[in-house]
Structure 1
Amino acid sequence: MQALTGNNVYLRALEPEDLEFLYAVENDLSFWEVSSTETPYSKHVLRLYLENAHLDIYEAKQLRLVIAESKSQKPIGLIDLFDYNPKHKRAGVGILLIEGEQQKGYGSEALKLLIEYSFRHLNIHQLFANITMDNEKSLNLFKKHNFIEVGVKKDWIFIEGKYKDEGLFQLINV
């Protein structure tokens, strides 16, 4: 897959050289709430994952792309399509940016690139996102890109001894 290029970021496939970046991100406790991670990942497990990252979305039912900053070419985040269903032409979207790279417009540009790719090249009819209702940054990001709240799952996420509501947002390609 060719890199999907914007003005300040581009999206690219995972490479074996991304092992250290992936290890740092997957084991960052601050991301565990949104990724539903419960235990740390070993480098061995992540190396095996990278070896299978070549599987296309039709086979793996997911697609993980690195968000790279255009000037430095350094990885600054990840953006995913998950739960891809080719029959119903839908997929979930997840995005994360590392500390220090948030609130710079990178996430918005990456999400725009992924939306365009999903609708034009994968022929997806709708994208969805699950966002805890206290995650203002993500709520604002997805609403900016016309995702509509279609429901709230009450007490859906249990984290640090508390329940959180999670919103379901959709973007339908009409």
Structure 2
Amino acid sequence: MTTLKGENIYLRALEQADLDFLYLLENDEKGWEVSNTTTPYSKHLLQQYLDQAHRDIYDVKQLRLVICTNNNETAIGFIDLYDFDPKHSRAGVGIVIFSEANKGKGYASEALRLVIRYAVQHLNIHQLYANITEDNQQSIRLFEKAGFVKNGIKKDWIKVGNTYKNELFYQLIPHVH
């Protein structure tokens, strides 16, 4: 079994055909809160990003993988390793499943397990972390189920409109061999 293939999903690199999918995701204002985005992305800018997507994680310090279902190879989301720090052997993890129809089916849990295994086996990761807003109960359950532990609260960290949200800091020191 490869590290990026699971029972129901597999993770693959970004491809040129993902442009429209990426465009919809990056321009969905509901996701801007967690991605620190404040303006839409043009297809031209996203095309430039795709053109550079082949670059090594050691160079660009991030890796975005597409989550696809095994049965029909449909792209259903992304999982990212970001702020990769090889000196300290750590990286952040972010995940998004696009449609409500694909949520609650275990795809995110499986993708998270696969990316943890990949990060440990191929990137020699010692720890992974996630930043999750306090009101995102679905993500909190997902990461806690995967073994992440809440180790801090960033008070009033995320501004949404005229209010602020606390952001929780979760860490995992995996013991995958």
Q: Where on the TM-score scale, by shorter chain, does this alignment land: which range?
A: over 0.9
Report the counterpart of residue 156 of structure 2 in structure 1.
155
| 8 Å contact kept, 1:82–1:91 | yes
Shifted more, 128-137 versus 99-108: the winner is: 99-108
Report the counterpart of residue 19 of structure 1 in structure 2.
19
How far apart, CA to CA, are the structure 2 residues paired with 1:62 and 1:95? 13
Query: So what's the TM-score if we normalise by structure 1?
Result: 0.96
Query: What value does the CA root-mean-square deviation take over the aligned residues?
Result: 1.1
Matched, 1:171 2:172: yes
How far apart, CA to CA, are the structure 1 residues paired with 2:113 and 2:145? 10
| 8 Å contact kept, 1:26–1:40 | yes
How far apart, CA to CA, are the structure 2 residues paired with 1:160 and 1:98? 23
The runs of at least 4 aligned residues of structure 1 exceeding 2 Å deviation read none
How far apart, CA to CA, are the structure 1 residues paired with 2:70 and 2:82? 25
| 8 Å contact kept, 1:3–1:10 | no
CA apart distance, 1:160: 2.4
Report the counterpart of residue 56 of structure 1 in structure 2.
56
Query: So what's the TM-score if we normalise by structure 2?
Result: 0.95
Report the counterpart of residue 135 of structure 1 in structure 2.
136
Matched, 1:94 2:94: yes
Matched, 1:7 2:11: no
Which runs of no fewer than 5 residues in structure 1 stay unpaired? none
CA apart distance, 1:73: 0.7
Matched, 1:105 2:106: yes
| 8 Å contact kept, 2:91–2:128 | yes
How far apart, CA to CA, are the structure 1 residues paired with 2:161 and 2:71? 38
Instruction: State the percentage of identical aligned residues.
Output: 57
Shifted more, 68-77 versus 131-140: the winner is: 68-77
How far apart, CA to CA, are the structure 2 residues paired with 1:102 and 1:3? 22
Which runs of no fewer than 5 residues in structure 2 stay unpaired? none
Distance change in 2, residues 1:67/1:10 (3 Å): same
